[in-house]
Amino acid sequence: MTAAGATRPPLAVVVLAAGEGKRMNSRLHKVLHEAAGRPLLEHILRAVAPLNPTRTVVVVGYSGDEVRERFAGRGLTFVTQDFSTGYGTGHALRESAAALEGFTGNVLVLNGDGPLLTSATLLALVNTLGNESGMALLTCTTADPTGLGRIVRNGNGELSAIVEEKDATQAERALNEINPGVYLFDSDVFRRATLLRNDNAANEYYITDLPKAYLADGYPVRTLLADERELLGVNDRAQLATAERILRQRVTDHWLKAGVTMLDPNTTYIDDGVALGRDCVLEQGVVLRGSSRVGEGARIGAYSVLTDAAVPAGAVIPPHTVS
């Protein structure tokens, strides 16, 4: 843990977004699908922003040009994963090294389809490793670990391995502590990534083989147990709907605490980019989209739908208004 006032190493962020996303059954790249009015990738970038990363790299593959275009001018560095030289998360991490030449510091690795992570959790993970050499990762427990990598611990309760389900024994598959794919590595990670092998059931280079490598060399692998609700990955439309619901609830809770009245919060939909003044009133069924701004004390009538609107302080918007 980093002591109070201590300086952490510089931080780079690598977002893995090269997957094809077949289960979304969509022409649109998975990370461009929206939840609470923002693309999935946008939620991730907003979560890491308070950590002040020196560089942010997004690894793309299929339909990568769409992602580049949508996030042009954001100060991101894009790397296209070369599938002719391998597959897997470990291979994607290795590919990202080209965009971090000359960087010395810790590397935070996230998945592009995880929009529910909060800045507080990511900061806690960064502080878990602090100035130490080694690595750290988030874990969580779940009632249904099907398809996910299992966390294997030794007799002292320390992590000894991450085992992918395809390679797990029956006993390992019974474990319910899983690896959601959020890692913090020291600056030696890219050298280690070049040593990864793909002699496994999927013939992929696993990023999950890196903990064993660090442990074998005597370096710590710290773990931080996180809330399962923050670690949902969006792989299909049902999971997208779940992420939408959770994110919108967060937005609703924020504005209720900020002094906004909602006659029926369950039927009020507010995009993440909306700003509301204190003491404004939203009647039932109100939908506020995009970058709408509602001034202090304004009242929005029932079942109104406003997109990128500017509502002055004290204004009264009649019910069923669409603009």
Residue 235, CB-side half-sphere exposure with 13 Å CA sphere: 9
- pLDDT digit string (tens) for 39-76? 999 999 999 999 999 999 999 998 899 999 999 999 99
Query: Looking at the annotation, which residues are catalytic?
Result: 23
Task: Assess whether pLDDT exceeds 60 at residue 245.
Answer: yes
Q: What pTM, to 2 d.p., does this model score?
A: 0.91
CB 254 within 8 A of CB 118: no
How much is the pLDDT for 200?
87
> What percent of the chain shows pLDDT beyond 70?
98
Helices (H), strands (E): how many in the chain?
Answer: 8, 22
Query: Confidence class of residue 201 from pLDDT cuts 50, 70 and 90?
Result: confident
How far apart CA 120 and CA 242 sit, in angstroms, is 21
Task: Assess whether pLDDT exceeds 90 at residue 9.
Answer: yes
How much is the pLDDT for 6?
56
Distances from the Cα of 203 to the Cαs of 29, 91, 200, 222, in angstroms? 25, 11, 5, 27
How far apart CA 8 and CA 119 sit, in angstroms, is 16
Task: Assess whether pLDDT exceeds 60 at residue 4.
Answer: no
- pLDDT digit string (tens) for 140-167? 999 999 989 999 999 999 999 999 898 8
How much is the pLDDT for 44?
97
- pLDDT digit string (tens) for 174-191? 999 999 999 999 999 999
How far apart CA 146 and CA 173 sit, in angstroms, is 8
Amino acid at 187: S
How far apart CA 167 and CA 147 sit, in angstroms, is 11
- pLDDT digit string (tens) for 86-108? 999 999 999 999 999 999 999 99
Three-class DSSP category at 91 = helix
Average pLDDT in the 192-216 region? 93
> What percent of the chain shows pLDDT beyond 90?
92
